[in-house]
Amino acid sequence: MQLSDYQTYDATGLAQLVATGEVSADELLSAALEAVDAVNQPLNAVVATFEDEARRFIREEMKDGPFKGVPFLLKDLTAHYAGQPTGAGWPPRAFLKPDADSELVRRFKKAGLVTFGKTAVPELAMDWTTRSRAHGVTNNPWDVTRTAGTSSGGTAAAVAAGIVPMGHGNDGGGSIRVPSSVCGCFGLKPTRGRNPVAPSGSTWQGMLVEHALTRSVRDSAALLDATAGAHPGQFFNSPAGGNFRTELGVDPGSLRIAVSTRAPYGAPTHPDCAAAVAETVRLLEDLGHVCEKHDIDLPADGWDAFETFILAEYATDMKLEAQALGRALTEADFPPMLWDMIEAGNRISAVDVNVATTRLHAVAAAVNATFSRYDVFLSPTLAQPPLPHEAFPQATSMRGHYEFYLSWMPFTHIFNVSGAPAMSVPLAWNGEGLPIGVQFAAAPAAEGLLFRLASQLEAARPWAARRPPISVGAK
**Cis omega before residue 199 (within 30°)?**
yes
Selected catalytic residue, list 75, 109, 118, 189: 75
Please state, as a whole number, how many other Cβ atoms lie within 10 Å of the Cβ of residue 239: 11
Active site residue 75: yes
Which member of 102, 118, 132, 151 is catalytic? 151
For strand 256-259 and strand 290-293, is the pairing parallel, antiparallel, or unpaired?
Answer: parallel
Other Cβ atoms less than 10 A from the Cβ of 97: the count is 11
Alpha helix (H) residue ranges in 74-132: 103-110
- With beta carbons less than 8 A apart as the criterion, state whether 278 and 354 touch: no
User: Is 220 an annotated catalytic residue?
Assistant: no
How far, in Å, CA of 463 to CA of 2, rounded? 22
DSSP annotation of 232 reads: T
User: What is the C-alpha separation between 151 and 232, in angstroms, rounded?
Assistant: 27
* Distance (Å, whole) CA 341 – CA 468: 36
Alpha helices in 153-203 (DSSP H): 153-160, 177-183
**Taking Cα atoms as reference points, which of 189, 236, 200 lies closest to residue 78?**
200
Residues 6+ apart with CB under 8 A from 26: 55, 58
DSSP 8-state class, residue 453: H
CA 379 from centroid of its chain's CA atoms = 17
User: CB–CB of 190/220 below 8 Å?
Assistant: no
Q: Is 175 known to be catalytic? A: yes
Spatial distance between the Cα atoms of 408 and 22, rounded to a whole number of angstroms: 45
What angle is formed at CA 416 by the lines to CA 366 and CA 196, rounded to 5 degrees? 135
| Alpha helices by DSSP H, 287-425 | 302-325, 336-346, 350-369, 398-408, 413-418
User: Using CA atoms, how far apart are residues 309 and 356, in angstroms rounded to an integer?
Assistant: 6
Strands 422-429 and 186-189: antiparallel
- Active-site choice (102, 132, 152, 175): 175
Catalytic sites, residue numbers: 75, 151, 175
